[in-house]
Structure 1
């Protein structure tokens, strides 16, 4: 099993982007951020069909790290992934990180707080439906993140 296509998902403030960048440095694999597909250069929301097409095109590549939401394309990414990483730090930590990062943006705080209620079950379905040839990880703490990074860096994977 090789870490060539890595899907990272979880709530706002979970640490997805940071983990993706760290994995990219270790593995030399390109990172794609779903948020970049969602908004255009002016910050305007793109149509769902355009977002989905972009994310699906990324998932069709041979090597990738795709981090972020857009649960409409979860199954497309998960079906091609060799590694699934669900970021699940405590809710209070996610909310705190979003408050710092997004300058108390109410919408961001709301979705960080409510993520588990709206999307947590979708995350579980993706993890539970992974085949035997797909490595799955649920990372709750910084220690969990460091252990995953160490394992991949040592090529014990």
Structure 2
């Protein structure tokens, strides 16, 4: 298994961006953040079709790490991924991280708290639906993330 296309999903504050950047440095693969597809350069919200088109164009590339939501494109990314990572730390930790990072933005705190109810099933479903040729990992702790980095570093060579 070659870690050339890595899909990272999970709720706000789960550590997706941090893991993606660590993997990028380790594997020398570009990171695409789904949140960056949501707004244009002026901060204006893009349409769903624009967002989906951008994310699908990233997924069509030879190598990538794509981190973030947009479950409408999960199957596009999962069908091309060589590695799928589900970030699933405890809810309290995700909410705490969002509170600190985003200065108590109530909307983000709400979605961080409610993420599992609204999107958790989609995350679990995509994780369970990928083929056996795609390596899947669930990361609950920093120790799990460190172990994943060790595994993928070994498989790089």
TM range, normalised to the smaller chain?
A: over 0.9
- In structure 2, stretches of 5+ residues that fail to align are none
Pairing 1:1-157 to 2, within 5 Å after superposition? 1-155=1-155
- Closer, same or farther: CA 156–49 of 1 in aligned 2, 3 Å: closer
Aligned-pair Cα RMSD in Å: 1.1
Structure 2 length-normalised TM: 0.97
Tell me how far apart the structure 2 counterparts of residues 100 and 44 of structure 1 sit (CA, whole Å): 25
Secondary structure at the aligned position of 1:45 is classed as coil
> Per the alignment, in what secondary structure is the counterpart of residue 155 of structure 1?
helix
Contact 2:7-2:77 at 8 Å conserved across structures:
yes
The TM-score, its normalising length taken from structure 1, stands at 0.97
Identify unmatched segments of 5+ residues in structure 1: none
Task: Provide Cα deviations, 1:17-76, integer angstroms capped at 9, x if missing partner.
Answer: 000000000001110000000011222211111000000000000100000001110110
> Cα offset for 1:155?
3.0
Q: Paired residues, what number? A: 157
